[in-house]
Chains A and B, each alone.
Chain A
């Protein structure tokens, strides 16, 4: 019997230098070097700062992943790397490194789609993905609703944000409330001690919006509504109930995301929902999605928080899936594509 493919995965699309090792659906190593602290004072990821950090972290992080997995480069069946979407300069560091490793070790290379990798990582926790599945991917860089017919090649975009990404809204509201960057974890914590009492708007959820934007998201209006509410309090000289604002804002985001994801499952007759991306680590989205999926008999799959955020294991997981599916590897000249469409799973 042929053993399952052993794949090294490299991820550098944003501010995490991730290197993972996966055998089939088994996670062997997941090493991440993050430059998030260097971006904190800028309130968002600075592309050149991220690229410089990727360069410095690349070789040590690859070595740590090999050591943790207890393998050498010669043992792997393939090298997978995020080719897009993401920050152009950051992607280039990972792809150039992956090509050098592939060339030196004489291994095939797969340039993969970051969003598809967010879906694939769930197989490390819950095993093979039933297809078709609906995937909701939410982070500081993306908010997408996808129908995954075949993770190795056929993924259909159903909707996406038309303005800010969901994670971006968390960052901006956190800043408004004087909470640190990145905004997801501190808002989640503050919300636990708050009440959902402020009726913030649900973007693109009105009947007229659902005609054209049934599966799209918008968080810009919500962000502005929170800012106006907070400022009105401040101008009136009243204290801002940070915990209540955090809870109410978080509820508005999670309500829309889970509502539309479940609606997509029902509309398409799909019984499996996967949620991934950094925002999937949020406790409220996990609870609300579970509640709504249970109500409709949908199986919810959300990987543990460490696998939801950007990492190399997700890239390795998709790479292993592609190798097992017999997908053709890429060329050593494969390009990066900062706007890579989800319809392209491997470049």
Chain B
């Protein structure tokens, strides 16, 4: 099961990861059996569990058939990101199966040719970004104002790259949001090796907004 909620696209996908050593293994070795993506930045918590249920039903699988959970770990806006990650962690815990984290931006940059800037919308007029060379992340992830991202690349991808296309001035490539297939492919080696599960760490990249109180205002005039 692949889940990602780091962008307005709430994603759940049932994926088969095949063992290339086994006879009859397909090619590609990562097959998306069922996928649900809903773009709604304010309803991650409501959409995700029904989507997981839907892809299981469509793929003819029961929760107990799952071998692993793959979760996009952001960066992404805090509340939405956590909805997907806590769902993944609880699913893995309940089913006693490993959970693997993948940087959500890698779900956009994975397997892309050339040098690519991946940028997603971080709100507050900023983007979460990373740079890929030959599909491999070579810089980032980080969060900055679009104008402050100064990198040598051939193209850009992601909803942040689209939103600030005028600032970046780069040709725009798909996908707009992390691809479940790419996230699964990035965790495929761990899935095949039955690697120990991980304690997921959200890539917040920002501190919580919190200020220690200043001097109290006097109540007397």
Contact = CB atoms under 8 A, between A and B. Distances in A.
Interface of A: 41-44, 46, 48-49, 51-52, 54-55, 58-59, 62-63, 73, 88-89, 92-93, 95-106, 175-176, 224, 227-228, 231-232, 235, 331-336
Nearest to B200: A55
Interface in B67-103: 78-79, 82-91, 93-95
B216 interface: yes
Contact of A101 (B44, B83, B94, B212): B94
A228 to B, nearest CB: 5
Interface in B180-216: 202, 204, 208-213, 216
B14 interface: no
Given A42-B212, A54-B86, A88-B79, 18 more contacts: A42-B210, A42-B211, A46-B209, A51-B78, A55-B82, A58-B90, A93-B86, A96-B44, A96-B49, A96-B82, A96-B86, A99-B48, A100-B49, A100-B89, A101-B94, A103-B63, A228-B220, A332-B49
Nearest to B207: A48
A48 B210 contact: yes
Instruction: List 5 tightest A-B contacts by C-beta distance, closest first.
Output: A104-B94, A48-B208, A227-B219, A100-B90, A99-B49
B82 A92 contact: yes
A138 to B, nearest CB: 23
A96 B48 contact: yes
Contact of B220 (A48, A175, A232): A232
A51 B212 contact: no
B90 A49 contact: no
A62 B93 contact: yes
A146 B78 CA distance: 35
Given A48-B78, A92-B82, A334 B46 contact: yes
A103 B49 contact: yes
A232 to B, nearest CB: 7
A101 B94 CA distance: 6
A332 B94 contact: no
A224 B47 contact: no
B45 interface: yes
Given A92-B83, A99-B87, A105-B94, A231 B202 contact: no
Contacts of B45: 92, 95-96, 335-336
Interface size class on chain B is: 35 or more
Contact of A73 (B79, B87, B89, B94): B94
Interface in B154-176: none
A306 B218 CA distance: 36
Contacts of A232: 220
B79 A92 contact: yes
Given A51-B79, A228-B219, A333-B46, A101 B90 contact: yes
Contacts of B52: 100, 103
B35 to A, nearest CB: 17
A235 B220 CA distance: 10
Given A46-B208, A59-B89, A100-B91, A231 B79 contact: no
B50 interface: yes
B53 interface: yes
Given A58-B89, A96-B86, A103 B219 contact: no
B214 to A, nearest CB: 10
Given A88-B79, A224-B219, A97 B90 contact: yes
A41 B212 CA distance: 6
A31 B219 CA distance: 41
B212 A335 contact: no
A93 B79 CA distance: 8
Nearest to A94: B86
A46 B210 contact: yes
A103 B51 CA distance: 11
A333 B85 CA distance: 17
Contacts of B79: 51, 88-89, 92
